[in-house]
């Protein structure tokens, strides 16, 4: 079978496996959050925010330092993504030499699509991590506001917890965009390495994303309500 025919068969199958897995993971996070690492972490971040805001004078430094570490992680990912985007753009244009590096070894259209797919992954990762920095920056100020000064004391911790969780969600999405760049890169070497990488990533991500040992008890049963913005019972 010709390589071009394999491109039309294996590449959509590999992408469908990656997209299908993440859609399934999204449903698990929404409906069974205590079975996923992302859902469990979101529940615990909400509890952490409530604990930090109970006594901001005592916990303020710890809260800001923790959020600053998250900002540094997102900044590192954003810087790496934009640097790799620039590198891919140079490869696409041939570094100003007048001849595209992609076109020097194989048909222009095929390699341009592959390089553009890699570039799109890194640009998306950059934008998502920038949004993560945005939410963490807002949360670093809001988390130190004493609850007693709020006219809506119950809603304040929930709002801050939602901001922290959104920052983490954007960071996770940025990381997923970087994961997608691996099969896109291997696509340069052919559709078989690309499809194989997609299936390997799905298996690895399944073991990284799922956690079946979280006991459903008084806390676990409220996981659906505590996740995200809705946030269950007030802090």
Q: Which residues of 26-39 are buried (b: 16+ CB within 10 A; e: fewer)?
A: eebbeeebbbbebb
Mean pLDDT of 10-17: 95
Q: How far apart are the first and last CA of the chain?
A: 61
In this structure, is residue 76 part of a structural domain? yes
Residue 232 belongs to some domain of the structure? no
Contact partners, residue 80, CB within 8 Å, separation at least 6 = none
Residue 96 or residue 163, greater confidence = 163
Is 194 within the bounds of a domain?
A: yes
| CA proximity to 47, closest of 221, 203, 197, 164 | 164
Q: Is the pTM of this model over 0.75?
A: yes
Range of the domain at 121: 7-210
Q: Which residue has the higher pLDDT, 187 or 94?
A: 187
> Does any domain span residue 224?
no
Q: Who wins on pLDDT, 93 or 46?
A: 46
Q: Is residue 64 part of a domain?
A: yes
Count the domains in the chain.
1
Tell me the per-residue pLDDT of 164-193, one tens digit each, with 9 for 90 and over: 999 999 999 999 999 999 999 999 999 999
For residue 36, list its beta bridge partners: 210
pLDDT in tens, 190-228: 999 999 999 999 999 999 999 988 766 544 444 445 454
Domain-located, residue 230: no
Model pLDDT, residue 133? 97
pLDDT at 150: 66
Residue 217 lies in a domain: no
Max avg pLDDT among 4-13, 63-72, 108-117? 63-72
Name which of 35-49, 109-123, 137-151, 153-167 the model is least confident about.
137-151
User: With bands split at pLDDT 50, 70 and 90, how would you rate the model's confidence at 102?
Assistant: very low
The two counts, helices (H) then strands (E), for the chain are 7, 0
Whether 184 and 194 have beta carbons less than 8 Å apart is answered as yes
């Amino acid at each position: 079978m010709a390589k071009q025919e394999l491109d039309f068969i294996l590449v959509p199958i590999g992408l469908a496996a990656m997209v299908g897995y993440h859609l399934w993971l999204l449903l698990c996070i929404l409906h069974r959050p205590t079975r996923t690492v992302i859902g469990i972490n979101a529940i615990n971040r909400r509890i952490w925010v409530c604990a930090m805001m109970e006594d901001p004078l005592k916990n303020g430094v710890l809260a800001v330092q923790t959020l600053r570490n998250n900002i540094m992680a997102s900044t590192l990912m954003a810087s790496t993504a934009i640097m790799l985007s620039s590198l891919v753009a140079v490869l696409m244009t041939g570094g100003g030499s007048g001849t595209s590096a992609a076109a020097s070894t194989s048909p222009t259209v095929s390699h341009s699509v592959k390089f553009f797919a890699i570039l799109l992954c890194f640009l998306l990762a950059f934008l998502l991590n920038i949004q993560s920095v945005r939410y963490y920056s807002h949360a670093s100020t809001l988390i130190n506001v004493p609850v007693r000064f709020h006219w809506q004391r119950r809603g304040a911790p929930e709002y801050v917890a939602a901001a922290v969780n959104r920052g983490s969600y954007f960071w996770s999405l940025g990381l997923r965009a970087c994961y997608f760049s691996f099969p896109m890169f291997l696509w340069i070497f052919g559709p078989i390495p690309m499809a194989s990488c997609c299936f390997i990533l799905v298996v690895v991500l399944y073991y990284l994303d799922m956690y079946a040992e979280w006991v459903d008890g008084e806390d676990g049963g409220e996981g659906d309500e505590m996740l995200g913005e809705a946030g269950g019972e007030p802090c």
